[in-house]
Structure 1
Amino acid sequence: MAGFVDFSQPSLWLSAASIIFNPTFWNIAARTEYHNKTLTKLAGGKPLYGCYGLAATIFCLGIVRDMIYERALRTQPGHPLMQGPLAQALAVALIGSGNTLVLSSMWALGITGTYLGDYFGILMDEMVTGFPFNVTGSPMYWGSTMSFAGTALWFGKPAGLLLTAVVFVAYKIALSFEDPFTSEIYAKRERERKNGGKKAQ
């Protein structure tokens, strides 16, 4: 592995750090909002504006993370097996498929559905079950992972595949916190509806 990945490059570690930081940040920010209404208070008591602010922050952090990742790849050694027409074709397929999952997910959920609106009390009327959610329950996460892998192949850099593995693990951990918590938010709403609107514990 050491011959295919230059671990001495600071950009590699910076990229890994940014990959881990992003889901950690938005999970902490969302939990803080849910329990303390911190972002809503900063937005003048308007949860929608608080959600939009978090959405803009997450979006910008994603752009910065992607820029750091690309720059990290440029400083890494390539590998012949990851170069050539076949690798390039696979790269295009992964990036295209990954972006399709991400963008179609955002279209189906809207801004508040995509960017943790449920933690602000902005809940969707019902669960989205059509495409891309009939392909995977977490299309944004797995679509993003596919795009990272595709970019690694496009540049022909083994380090990109290593960083893609970091993305995969970071998202798996994030989902282990997010999925049960989000499910409980909606389960609580259903309990409140059955109780005639009274807050359920």
Structure 2
Amino acid sequence: MAGLVDFTQPTLYLSAATILFNPTFWNFVARTEYHNKTLTKLAGGNALYGCYGLAVTIFLLGLIRDAVYERALRQQPSHPAMLGFVPQALAVGLVASGNVLVLSSMWALGITGTYLGDYFGILMDEMVTGFPFNVTDAPMYWGSTLSFLGTALWYGKPAGVLLTVLVYTAYRIALTFEDPFTAEIYAKRERERRDAPKKKA
């Protein structure tokens, strides 16, 4: 492994740190918002503006993470087996597929649906079940993972594959926290809807 990955490069660890930081950050902030309405208060009591603020922050953090990742790859050794037409063609296919999953997910969910609006009390009318959610339950995460892997192949860098495994692991762990929490938010709404006629009666 030491011959495939240059572990002396600080950018490798910086890239790993940004990969781990981002989902940890937005999960912490979103849960803080849900319980304490912190961002809503900072936005003058407007939950929508608070969600937009978080959306911009997450988007910018994503750009920084991607830039650090690319810089880290440029400072890593390439492997001959990962260079050539076939790996590059596969790289293009992976990045294209990843972007389709991410962009179509954003289109289906909208800004508030994409950027944790449910933690702000901005819930969707019903669950989205069409593309890309009929392909995977987390198209944003797995699309991003495919793009990371595609970029690693494009540059022919084993270190990129290693970092992609970290991306996959970070997202998989994040989902174990996010999915049950989000499901409970919507379950709570359904309970409140069922109880509403009883209260009126």
Aligned to 2:174: 174
Match of 1:193 in 2: 193
Equivalent-residue separation in structure 2 for 1:61 and 1:198 (angstroms): 46
Distance 2:159 2:187 in 1: 42
Decide whether aligned partners of structure 1 residues 197 and 21 sit closer, same or farther in structure 2, where only a CA change above 3 A counts: farther
Structure 1 match to 2:53: 53
Quote how far apart the aligned CAs of 1:197 are.
Answer: 7.2
Q: Aligned pair 1:81/2:97, yes or no? A: no
Distance (Å, rounded) in 2 between the aligned partners of 1:44 and 1:108: 28
Distance of 1:103 and 1:197 partners within structure 2: 39
CA drift at 1:159: 0.1
User: Residue 6 of structure 2 aligns to which amino acid in structure 1?
Assistant: D
The alignment-based identity, stated in percent, is 78
**SS at 1:125's partner residue?**
coil
Contact 1:91 1:149 in 2 (8 A): yes
**TM-score, length basis structure 1:** 0.98
1:8 shift after superposition: 0.4
Change (3 A) 1:72 1:198: farther
Task: Report what 2:26 is aligned to.
Answer: 26
Structure 2: 5+ residue runs without aligned partners? none
Name the counterpart of 1:40.
Answer: 40
RMSD over aligned Cα atoms: 1.1
Q: Which runs of 5+ in 1 are unaligned?
A: none
The TM-score with structure 2 as length reference comes to 0.98
**In 2, distance between residues paired with 1:128 and 1:148?**
26
**Which letter maps to 1:32?**
T
1:35-184 map, 5 Å: 35-184=35-184
Structure 1 moving runs of 4+ over 3 Å: none
Task: Report the alpha carbon displacement of residue 95 of structure 1 after superposing the two structures with TM.
Answer: 0.1
Partner Cα distance (1:34, 1:198) in 2: 27
